[in-house]
Structure 1
């Protein structure tokens, strides 16, 4: 029986990760780190209230086998690049480092298609640097999930994103062969792929795009 810790459990992908892990008989305890209580009760669930600045103390001595990271923001929501970088890079890297110190052997990270530490685009560069720094922590298993447009209904209203999601559903069939990684994917499918991949994690490093994620749903 395993223990897992989730960061980003209140978000679109993270809420599905939480749901799937709570319903997975292979796990005895699921720990989530959130800024405020989600008012969810489950015998396997442990809720820790904290953020980037308090994390060191919040997770002190919390032993886990796996860490799931679905943290992220948008430039509209977080226009300050310093805070954006903290959420998309610093927080995932710190959370991973602390989890490894607490015994975690595997990390499952939601990144983004095109993530590249050498990119000239701030968004993809930040994601790429987060990936690189987490890889350098040398977990036994590092699985990086790189979705394109994440489909699903968010709690907050994002009109532009809604329009893009509708467009992606129409143009998805056009992304074939090597372009398949640009296909939009449901948040629930990303989460399911992450949880399913943990059951048979046997590779040290694995990068998963649309095709690899969809294959894990079968």
Structure 2
């Protein structure tokens, strides 16, 4: 039986979250979307509801509004550039697990999709700080009592035309997309691919919990 998706999206005021939200609003399989953010996402749509909440380390004040959803597309994240490990750990691991633990109690039938990154270290013991922290985040999310948990590891994501929250440095590299797709297909997808992959993995599941770029492109085409 085809399921109708009711999704929570975080990070919708950023490039990745906005791209995923855009695909959710386009897709008829997605019945309702709840955006949780520190500031308005700037999008209006009949199936979109928004909660402005400043403290993602404590979502208990809004917990009564988070039941009844069967997907979470967690696109909230920070760059590790210039950060010491304790600060990055707090904003990446602690924040994400706080939200996920609450959602797993409220919605055990939920599919939780976490945007990680290519090169993430599942062993948690590698040389790169950000990769270790992301790896621990992925590993501990997969221990929570959700229906399904998937860690998405995108590389370069070509922006969706017309969306406004494109990372500033992308304007210097988007022209290279056709070349990158040709010479490094395993590291290149589109923002639309990511959004469609999340929707399809919620509907259909997948054989792996760690979703690399090649898997993202496979999932995006599943119907």
Smaller-chain TM-score range? 0.7 to 0.9
SS at match of 1:86: helix
Match of 1:73 in 2: 78
Q: Following TM superposition, by how much is the alpha carbon of 1:67 offset from its aligned partner in structure 2, in angstroms? A: 1.0
Give the counterpart of 2:98 among 87, 94, 109: 94
Q: Following TM superposition, by how much is the alpha carbon of 1:156 offset from its aligned partner in structure 2, in angstroms? A: 6.4
Match of 2:194 in 1: 190
Q: Following TM superposition, by how much is the alpha carbon of 1:71 offset from its aligned partner in structure 2, in angstroms? A: 1.6
Contact kept, 8 Å, 1:145 with 1:207, in 2: the verdict is yes
Match of 2:165 in 1: 155
Contact kept, 8 Å, 2:88 with 2:130, in 1: the verdict is no
Contact kept, 8 Å, 2:93 with 2:133, in 1: the verdict is yes
Q: Deviations over 1:70-127 (max 9, x none)?
A: 1212134x63543332332222222211111111421111111121122220111111
Match of 2:37 in 1: 34
Task: Give the distance between the partners of 2:136 and 2:175, measured in 1 at CA.
Answer: 30
Contact kept, 8 Å, 1:13 with 1:188, in 2: the verdict is no
Q: Following TM superposition, by how much is the alpha carbon of 1:197 offset from its aligned partner in structure 2, in angstroms? A: 1.9
Q: Following TM superposition, by how much is the alpha carbon of 1:68 offset from its aligned partner in structure 2, in angstroms? A: 0.9
How does 1:159-170 map onto structure 2 within 5 Å? Answer: 159=169, 162-163=171-172, 169-170=178-179
Aligned residues: 210
Match of 1:201 in 2: 205
Ranges in structure 1 where 5+ consecutive residues have no aligned partner: none
Ranges in structure 2 where 5+ consecutive residues have no aligned partner: none
SS at match of 2:118: coil
Q: Following TM superposition, by how much is the alpha carbon of 1:169 offset from its aligned partner in structure 2, in angstroms? A: 4.9
Q: Following TM superposition, by how much is the alpha carbon of 1:163 offset from its aligned partner in structure 2, in angstroms? A: 4.3
Contact kept, 8 Å, 2:180 with 2:188, in 1: the verdict is no
- Answer yes or no: is 1:16 the counterpart of 2:19: yes
Q: Following TM superposition, by how much is the alpha carbon of 1:166 offset from its aligned partner in structure 2, in angstroms? A: 5.1
Q: Deviations over 1:148-168 (max 9, x none)?
A: 223328736644x55455556
Task: Give the distance between the partners of 1:2 and 1:156, measured in 2 at CA.
Answer: 26
Q: Following TM superposition, by how much is the alpha carbon of 1:61 offset from its aligned partner in structure 2, in angstroms? A: 4.9
SS at match of 2:49: strand
| Normalised TM-score (structure 1) | 0.83
What is the RMSD computed on CA atoms of the aligned residues? 2.5
Higher mean displacement: 21-30 or 208-217: 21-30
Task: Give the distance between the partners of 1:124 and 1:164, measured in 2 at CA.
Answer: 24
- Answer yes or no: is 1:217 the counterpart of 2:214: no
SS at match of 1:139: coil
Task: Give the distance between the partners of 2:146 and 2:32, measured in 1 at CA.
Answer: 21
Change (3 A) 1:25 1:156: closer
